[in-house]
Amino acid sequence: MVSGLLDTLPAAQRDLLGPAAPGDELATPPMLAVLSDRRVFGADWLFERKLDGVRALGARHEDRTRLLSRTGRAMQTTYPEIIDALSAQECRDFTVDGEIVAYARGRTDFALLQRRMQITDAARARASGVAVTYYLFDLLRLDGYDLTRLPLRTRKSLLRRAVAFRAPLRFTPHRNEGGQEQLDAACARGWEGLIAKRAGGRYVRRRSPDWLKLKCARGQEFVVGGFTEPAGAGGRIGFGALLVGTYEEGRLRYAGKVGTGFDRATLVGLRGTLDGLAAPHSPFADRVREPRPHWVRPELVAQVAFTEWTRDGMLRHPRFLGLRDDKRPEQVVREEPEPG
């Protein structure tokens, strides 16, 4: 017998439920969105704010609560206040999907979140001074049942009723209309963009066209394969620019250098990390035309904003946003928007 909130579902939707052993839903990656330039949508879509943070799956079963990155890395000690909030829920068996963000001046700030991402001690995390918010947008398991075959709109309705939303937990609201006008309004507010989701879609463990990223500006992850020394007389320290690329058929293809977006602390700290990854040879499949570059093992993933790709596959006006530890380097490929 389906218990609690689930027995309020129509019979046809209850038939879509299946048993879910605790932890099974954490063994595979979460659902991911596809970059798209589509701007015309029908009534079967809903639209959420695209958040500039870190994806996280939160799971509780009885007295055990976990928080995992999209690569399966445990984050309990990095965000202990989120663990506290999930553990305090009246519901004792659930799995939620969402995004962890930090705010600065009313806007999500990935650079600020970086200060929490590197901490693995709960006491230090609480004392960091960086407050975080966990925006929940999906419910995958409830009371021992797998919800991923239910329509998205139903899963969000159950999520709103199953979870008590008190700080640092927030429900991710949505609108039923979206397109170029709505995207322009989101961009004017300083948002990253919108996520368009098929309202009747299931939750699948892969990148799916049922979720579309509508971005205000270009940006994606890149693998760091080297760096240059500081140049000029401007007092630059640490390094000059990162040499970055993306994977294509198993080979790391060079995409250009990123020399802006760093503060002094990042230049110094990142240089130490880069020196620890020193490699004798270039990891790039292409020739890199930089004088006296330093090569590193391709283990770091950087989030980079840019205006466009050039004809020869280089980044135009790239800007460093921060390092990511929730995506494996070999998963980083060039993102191209699907046509609308």
Same domain, 181 and 264: no
Report the C-alpha gap between 206 and 300 in whole angstroms: 23
Q: In this structure, are 151 and 273 located in the same domain?
A: no
Residues 117 and 255 in one domain: no
Q: Assess if residue 56 is contained within a domain.
A: yes
Would you say residue 339 lies in a domain? no
Determine how many CB atoms are found less than 10 A away from the CB of residue 314.
14
What's the chain's Rg over C-alpha atoms?
Answer: 21
Question: Looking at 43-92, which runs of residues are DSSP E strands?
Answer: 45-49, 54-61, 64-68
Sign of the CA dihedral with 143 first, then 101, 118, and 78 last: negative
Say how far apart CA 115 and CA 182 lie, in whole Å: 32
Structural domain range at position 247: 218-331
Residue 81 lies in a domain: yes
Residues 211 and 278 placed together within one structural domain of the fold: no
Q: Residues 69, 184: one domain?
A: yes
Inside any domain, residue 191? yes
pLDDT of residue 233: 55
Residue 263 lies in a domain: yes
pLDDT of residue 325: 87
pLDDT at residue number 1: 34
Instruction: Examine the fold and report which residue of 215, 234, 267 is the final residue of a domain before the chain moves on.
Output: 215
Q: Do 281 and 242 share a domain, yes or no?
A: yes
Give the span between the Cα atoms of 327 and 44, in whole angstroms: 31
> Does residue 289 fall inside a structural domain?
yes
Co-location of 55 and 78 in the same domain: yes
Structure tokens at 297: 């093992």
Tell how strand 315-316 and strand 107-108 pair up.
unpaired
Q: Is 327 a catalytic residue?
A: no
Query: In terms of domains, do 60 and 117 share one?
Result: yes
- CATH number of the domain enclosing 199: 3.30.470.30
Residue 156: per-residue pLDDT: 98
Q: Are residues 9 and 120 in the same domain?
A: yes
**pTM of the full predicted structure?**
0.83
Question: How many domains does one find in the chain?
Answer: 2
Q: Are strands 132-142 and 169-171 parallel, antiparallel or unpaired?
A: parallel
- Quick check: helix, strand or coil at residue 23? coil
Catalytic residue among 50, 156, 197, 257: 50
Q: Is residue 58 domain-resident?
A: yes
In a domain, residue 255? The reply is yes
Query: What is the model's pLDDT at position 101?
Result: 97
Q: What is the pLDDT of residue 340?
A: 61
Which of 166, 183, 215 is a domain's end point?
A: 215
Per-residue pLDDT of the chain (340 residues; tens, 9 = 90+): 345 899 999 999 999 999 988 877 777 789 999 999 999 999 999 999 999 899 999 999 999 999 999 988 999 999 999 999 999 999 999 999 999 999 988 888 898 998 999 899 999 999 999 999 999 999 999 999 999 999 999 999 999 999 999 999 999 999 999 989 999 999 888 888 999 999 999 999 999 999 999 998 888 999 999 999 998 656 789 999 999 999 999 999 999 999 999 999 999 999 999 999 999 999 999 999 999 999 999 999 999 999 889 989 999 999 999 999 888 999 999 998 876 6
Do 38 and 152 have their domain in common? yes
- In this prediction, residue 105 carries a pLDDT of 84
Tell me, yes or no, whether 156 and 82 share the same domain.
yes
The CA-to-CA distance between both ends of the chain, in Å, stands at: 44
**319 and 241 co-located in one domain:** yes
Q: Both tokens of residue 162?
A: 């199953």
